[in-house]
Every structure is written in structure tokens, then in C-alpha cells.
Structure 1
Amino acid sequence: MVSVSDSFDIDASPEQVMRALEDVEHIPDWSSAHKRVEVLSRYDDGRPRRVRMTLSLFGFSDTVTVEHQWTGHSTSWSLVESSMQRSQDGEYAVEPSGDGTRVHVTMSLDPKVPVPGFVLRRGQKHAVEAIRKGLTGFVYSHYT
């Protein structure tokens, strides 16, 4: 099991950041690891519920299905299906911070196949950087 967490600020309202997070079909626009995202089902309020994603990172490819839970200021997900992972859980939580928003990200995954520790650490670092830079840019270009 590997885990990663990070916090960073975005100069946008929590509502703007949450709208960007709800826009899961456009994750490939800001995350190079995500090749394709498809919403399989939605909650009554339109937020994505079950989502299938094709991922590729450092030569490893996987298609995963996750189930999202939503609150006013967070989204969390849990793995439903994957050929490469036993489990995956994560959360984005947002809170007001000054004139903007503090974003807290946590993710953990348990690969089914042995993966060298340095590859996992490099993947974690890449994921955090992609989220920090990519999500911030996506919010600025589409929701502010």
C-alpha cells in the first residue's frame, strides 16, 4: 500500500474548485496520466457517481472504475474494478483560505503486481505535481 497527501492553494472560490472537480470528463486536459475518462453513472444532482478511467504512467497502463461520493466541499472515491490494483481510495477536500481555496489531496493504492519502490515514489511525486499544476491551471482557465 502506498499513500500520498498534499495541500495547496488556488486563487478561486471553493465553489469554483468543486465545479472543476465535478468536471471529471476533462481530467485528461490537466492530468497527463489520464488518457480517457467516461462517466458511467451520475447522482440525481448530476455529479459523477461511477467513473471509468484509462491511466498510463511510467509504462504501466490500467483501466479502473471508481465510485465517487460528494459533499459540499469534498469528493472521495474508492476503487470498484482494476486489473492492476487491489484497492485505491482518495479524496479532494476544499476549504476557504484567505481570498482563495486550500485544496487537500489524499490518495492510497495497493497494486496487485510487485512494483519497485522507486517507481511508486516517482509515480506519487508525479501525481502530486500533476494535481497541483494541472488542477490549478484548469480552474483558472475554465472556472474563474
Structure 2
Amino acid sequence: MAVTVSDRFDIDAAPEQVMRALEDVERIPEWSGAHQSVEVLTRDDVGRARRIRMTLSLFGFSDTQTIEHDWTERSTSWTLVESTMQRSQEGEYALEPSERGTRVHVTMSLEPKVPVPGFVLRRGQKHAIGAIRRGLTDFVLSRYA
């Protein structure tokens, strides 16, 4: 069974600045402690990462994943292609202008290959969402704003 979590938060930067940070996928390990490495395998027609291989470590579990991104002007979504630990994963960062700059809406849904209690999965996802909120905000403000 897949478990979904979402969050909304504001960043004091323009949507274009936040999107540039999201497009810079090779630098995700700089703002996400869970990401050990990121390798771009393919790019789309305008040079954005399309297929990515990542190694993550969270709560003592390590996973190598291949995901595929789709991009629009104000969002990026991803779908799991291959993973050692997950059966499925989907997610999205959607950006909208706000009074403070940009409202970021992040959604993530995943289903592990092995049975994991739902409360453990939700706790891990909430931890990941909190890390995204802090890490992405700091990364955007220090590099792109």
C-alpha cells in the first residue's frame, strides 16, 4: 500500500529562482542529507535532467533509485523507474507566486517492496518533507536569491 504525504511552505524568492534550484539536480546532496549521490542519465530537449540515478540513505536504509522527471515552467514531477527498496514512488514540486515570493507544494507517495508499518513510513516521509522544507529553502536563498 502506497503512503502519501504533502506540505506547503513559502520561500522568499521568485518562482524562477526556486525552479532553477530544482533544475540543478546534481546539487541535491548539498541540501538534502538523505541524498548521497545524484547522476543525470538523460536530459530533455532544453537540458533539464530527465532520467536520474540517486543513492539515498535514510534511517539506516540505503537505496539506489532511478527516477524520471517531467518539467513544466512551474513544476517538476517524478516517477520511480527502478529501486532496490521501493515498488513505486511518485512526487511533485509545484510552485506558485505568493506574497513572500514562492509557495512550494511538495507531494510524495511511495510503496516499499517489503512490508513496513504505515506509521513508520509516514514518519519517514514527514522527516523527508521537513528536510526538504529546510534544505531547499536554505539552498535557494544562499545560491539563487
Q: Same fold (TM over 0.5)?
A: yes
- 1:140 maps to 141
Contact 2:79 2:91 in 1 (8 A): yes
* CA–CA separation in structure 2 for the residues paired with 1:92 and 1:116: 26
Give the paired residue count: 144
The code of the aligned residue for 2:37 comes to: R
* CA–CA separation in structure 1 for the residues paired with 2:6 and 2:39: 25
Matched residue SS, 1:134: helix
1:98 offset after TM fit, Å?
1.2
Between stretches 9-18 and 108-117, larger displacement belongs to 108-117
Unaligned runs of 5+ in 2: none
The code of the aligned residue for 2:119 comes to: F
1:99 offset after TM fit, Å?
4.0
* CA–CA separation in structure 2 for the residues paired with 1:43 and 1:68: 9
- 2:98 maps to 97
- 1:13 maps to 14
- 2:128 maps to 127
1:119 offset after TM fit, Å?
2.4
The code of the aligned residue for 1:130 comes to: A
How far does the alpha carbon of each residue in 1:12-53 deviate from its partner, in whole angstroms, 9 at most, with x for none?
000000000001111111111111101001011010000001
- 1:51 maps to 52
- Let me know the Cα RMSD of the aligned residues: 0.9
- 2:43 maps to 42
Unaligned runs of 5+ in 1: none
* CA–CA separation in structure 2 for the residues paired with 1:130 and 1:43: 28
* CA–CA separation in structure 2 for the residues paired with 1:23 and 1:7: 21
TM-score computed with the length of structure 1 as normaliser: 0.97
Matched residue SS, 1:44: coil
